[in-house]
A and B are shown apart, each in its own frame.
Chain A
């Protein structure tokens, strides 16, 4: 026992796994004694997970969902960066547009799902556009905020070295707000996953969210759990992946990846 605790204390990876494992074991013990159809045991959930998301299920549901997520997220980030840079340079337009942007920011993204479904119908276009919309907004706000508050000393240095225009933006200014942008990108990723799942639950026949909710409504509780686990795995997995890529980018500037962003 002492050895296990010691090993956990010294291994970063183990520390990460230890508590979720304990929770899973606790759930298993409770579920097998409670014998409720709502709470299948871990083994049943695992089997359902493989059945639902393996083979056909993977191609029919996981792939389209992830594709929509990727397309929406990436286009949102690009659009948000471009518009953010443009707005940061055009003061008057920025001041004029800011109230609308603030209003859209205060509007919960999930509330847009019915609107997008009615306008764009049910399908990949709807999911991708609502994800792109929310991500664009969030990245835009953080880009503008970061660029507008750039240290004037940095701007002066650019003047001295005659670095102007796009070179200034791409080579100096954007990297200088990189921690904030990367943090915003991470938050936007979580938001995208949420919107993807919600949009599929409200209106879709295929996709991770759709399968999860439909199985709940048709009393297939182990499939429902398989869906819940999938969404959780997606969230944690994509977040971990993002951090993996964020770390080397930030190491150059010596900044911790936990930089806060605006909300």
Chain B
């Protein structure tokens, strides 16, 4: 809706970067100012400096580092296992549409059940360990990844498939060399979305399920009414989410540039 003609100042990326940074700085300054003038009451939020100091003091603490390791390892394990299952199955379904027709209504029945519904039962049956978080993450993202991979491997260019047939490429190599790279950008998008969701599911499992990690630190901070700690931890969780999002977006862009219909191996 903003018609950006070439002479507009904001079409320059450095100007935009400057404004963005300025915005972040202004936010911090306003926050600190609001706290210092008493407009932002300390029982609602600590000052920016206090929160930053709290986060700073957290970082070297060993139990904080252990909690971060717990969260990240549980998240990575669950995500990797789920993706390792979903991607091959999705590729198979993409290659065999009749199989998809048979199964996809089952999937559509199970898929909308959010992990939170399963949580009370899963804790009972599995305790608060790795299998619990993996099942939770699985129910959260398996279907998303599966759907994306299936869809992605159906849009492979027919020319590529014909080439594979002409050169009598065997089924395994056909999957690895033709279907997977072609589907790579769409898979990468699915993985990016799944990464965010699985991190959220992991945090949720820690909040409610007693799984060790950052979420559990949050719960004890809340129980102790420690406001600076809560803000610092919540902010840190946001940073985790941001880093994951940036990493997977980069992966997505890489896949888009080097694979798929528009780029690389065509």
Contacts and interface: CB of A to CB of B under 8 A. Distances in A.
Contacts of A239: 112
Among A107, A202, A216, find the residue whose CB has the most chain B CB atoms closer than 10 A: A107
Nearest to B20: A99
Interface in A169-183: 173
B45 A119 contact: yes
B3 A152 contact: yes
A127 interface: no
Most buried by A among B45, B125, B245: B245
Interface stretch (B58-66, B91-99, B155-163, B218-226): B218-226
B207 A110 contact: yes
Contacts of B204: 108, 110, 198
Interface stretch (B113-121, B128-136, B257-265): B113-121
Tell me whether chain B's interface is mostly helix, strand or loop, or mixed. Answer: helix
A86 interface: no
Interface stretch (B22-30, B76-84, B171-179): B22-30
A71 interface: no
A19 B200 contact: no
A115 to B, nearest CB: 5
Nearest to A212: B120
A111 B215 contact: yes
A113 B117 CA distance: 18
Contacts, number: 156
Nearest to A104: B238
Contact of B234 (A115, A147, A213, A263): A115
Contacts of B208: 198, 201-202, 213
Interface residues of B, number: 59
B1 A88 contact: yes
A59 interface: no
A97 interface: yes
B20 A95 contact: yes
A100 B1 CA distance: 22
Interface string B211-253: 0000100110110010100110110011101101100000000
Interface of A: 15, 18-20, 23, 38, 88-89, 91-92, 95-100, 102-104, 106-115, 117-119, 147-148, 150, 152, 155, 173, 190, 193-194, 197-198, 201-203, 212-213, 216, 221, 224-225, 227-228, 231-232, 235-236, 239, 263
